[in-house]
Amino acid sequence: MSDVSMHVGRGEVVGLLGANGAGKTTLMRMLLGLLETSDGTVEVLGGPPDRERRRRIGYVPQNLGLYPDLTAAENLRFAADSYGTPVPALPTDLARYAGTLVGALPLGAQRQLAFVVALSHDPEVLLLDEPTSGVDALSRAALWDTIREQAGTGTGVLVTTHYMQEAQQCDRLLLMSDGLLVGQGSEADIIGSTSAAAVRTDDWATAFATLNAAGVPVILDGRDVRVADVDLDEIRRILADARLPATVTPVPATIEERMLVLARGTAG
């Protein structure tokens, strides 16, 4: 992590993007004071992440931060007691799980409960580390409704996600790579000058394997093979040498492809 500076305004939803290992979770843990820096300082809410400022932050970690051997109601009561706040009522669709051990709850219900716990003390800032990972599309949409509702009350939200559809729901995006903040702004700002091409062929699996073996930044989009920041004639040559009939056409690049380029170290 090096010289990372960012701002999340009141009522703003900011998406923190990056490949696995880019430093997103490490940054969140530093903002919470759970990790110390080897150099430099961390400031949040106007100062270091001390106990008092930590009370003004809500946090949903990747592992949800719930106690699996406590019931849903006991988890909520424990959080409220920790912050010295009244115990809120469970939402209607979670109330039926009040007496159920969290470890026995469906993942969607666990994630919803993690949100309720994180919001139980009315935080000014909400840090969400891949909060919808592993749940179905309907549950993800419902959780994003919660995020937007909370932002509507003035809470600033910093959220990491691997779902590009979710990134598009953010007000602003930040892109990390190898512990550095390498881009911020709109989706177009993040993509920048990254180019892409679609490779269409009946033998898409072999095309993917061939290009990947050649060191080309390549991903799958359905059955379309996509490459990023590589000369189209070079792609055609690689496929021709492998005797793979294919069409190679330029297409608009995506954030995923920008992330791939950065992860491969091919970005300028």
- Whether the CB-CB separation of 14 and 159 falls below 8 Å is answered with yes
Give residues with Cβ within 8 angstroms of 252, minimum separation 6.
196
Annotated domain spans of the chain:
13-189, 195-252
pLDDT of residue 2: 62
| pLDDT value at residue 266 | 43
pTM score: 0.81
At 158 the pLDDT is 95
Q: Output the pLDDT for position 36.
A: 81
Q: What is the pLDDT of residue 3?
A: 66
pLDDT at 113: 94
Parallel, antiparallel, or unpaired: how do β-strands 224-228 and 247-251 relate? Answer: unpaired
Report d(CA 153, CA 209) in Å as an integer.
48
Do domains 13-189 and 195-252 share one topology? The answer is: no
Of 222, 215, 224, whose CA–CA distance to 251 is shortest?
224
Q: What are phi and psi of 186, to 5 degrees?
A: -80, 175
Instruction: Look at residue 119 in the predicted model and tell me its pLDDT.
Output: 92
CATH architecture classification, 195-252: 2-Layer Sandwich (3.30)
Query: What is the total residue count of the chain?
Result: 268
Domain spanning 13-189 has what CATH number?
Answer: 3.40.50.300
- Written as tens digits, the pLDDT of the chain (268 aa) is 566 777 888 999 999 988 788 788 988 888 888 888 777 778 888 888 888 888 899 999 988 999 999 999 999 999 999 888 999 899 888 999 999 999 999 998 999 999 999 999 999 999 999 988 887 888 888 889 999 999 999 999 999 987 778 888 899 999 888 888 888 898 888 888 899 999 999 999 999 999 999 989 998 887 789 999 889 999 999 999 999 999 999 999 988 888 888 777 644 4
Angle (nearest 5°) at CA 138 between 136 and 142: 115
User: What pLDDT does residue 33 have?
Assistant: 86
Give the pLDDT confidence score for residue 265 in this predicted structure.
65
